[in-house]
Amino acid sequence: MKHLEIHNPNYKRLQESFTEWLRLLNFESSTIYYSPVRLTEFFSWLENNHITETGQITRKTIAAYFDYLKARQHQRKGGKLSKNYLRTHLQTLRKFSRYLRETEQDSFTVDYQIKGKSRNVKAVLTREEINQLYQTAGQGLLGLRDRAILAVYYGCGLRKSEGRQLDTSDVLWEKSLLYVRKGKNYQERYVPMTEKVREDLQDYYYGSRPAFPNVGSPAFLLSKKGNRLSGNILYQRFKSLLEKAQIDKPAGLHTLRHSIATHLLQSGMKLEQISHFLGHSSLESTQIYTQVIHEESNL
């Protein structure tokens, strides 16, 4: 997308405070970075259409903005914007309208619908592929840690930041629960561990973690230097497992969360239970997995 600028001082202020709001509510780093970028395009479009205040934004305004997005070309790839790309803009506007409401500023309604097949879940691993990842991990020191990573992100469906922030005291062995202290919006929750998840985490905690430096660290997942595992190392380990298992999909750690949600829904778990398991603030975020099942009939 070509470089866009915001000239309206009120829009500049709103963009800065919206960014800080995302940060304070502990949204993922990618959301904190990209949402304000998308908001810049929205504000620029508003300025070009002589809309200077958020109180002037109506349903027709939102519809007209998406007509504009549908008509413009993808700056790098050419062609029209994908439905998934349009959906990211829609989610940004929903977050922004929520921010305005919660900070008691002039907000607007975002009930626009993108017709046709579109979803945020870029890839979902099958149960067979999940089993391949576990088998590939092995039983060495790093292998046991890899299995623990899979247990945290697939078995418990944690977000990337939630898994990284997990402390040893957050694993409640006797109750078979993980305590998530810093979820999105700083919401706390308890996540149940299955027997397999508990076993994989115990194998790492008692059989592998003591061999790492700084074993007294509160961090549950340790690096080879004894530090809390960074997002970069987590990503590298997961990518290595994918390559060894010969799984050719555009997958990241968040794919494990998408996968367990899809598998739970396929197994008959109610949407409300899955929403609580994932720590979603509303069913709207969870309902996307019903689309996954319809579109990925091979899972």
Element holding 192 (H helix, E strand): strand 189-192
Q: Which amino acid is at 191?
A: V
From the list 95, 159, 209, 258, the catalytic residue is 159
Active site residue 289: yes
From the list 95, 119, 237, 280, the catalytic residue is 280
Active site residue 257: yes
From the list 89, 147, 184, 263, the catalytic residue is 184
Find all residues with CB under 8 Å of 131, minimum gap 6, and list them. Answer: none
From the list 237, 257, 258, 263, the catalytic residue is 257
End-to-end CA distance of the chain: 35
Active site residue 280: yes
3-state secondary structure of 69: helix
Active site residue 254: yes
Distance, CA of 297 to CA of 263 (rounded, Å): 12
Which residue from 56, 74, 15 is spatially nearest to 39, judged by alpha carbons?
15
Residue 142 phi/psi, 5° resolution?
Answer: -75, -30
Distance, CA of 206 to CA of 218 (rounded, Å): 15
Half-sphere exposure in the Cβ direction for 184 (13 Å, CA): 17
Catalytic residues: 159, 184, 254, 257, 280, 289
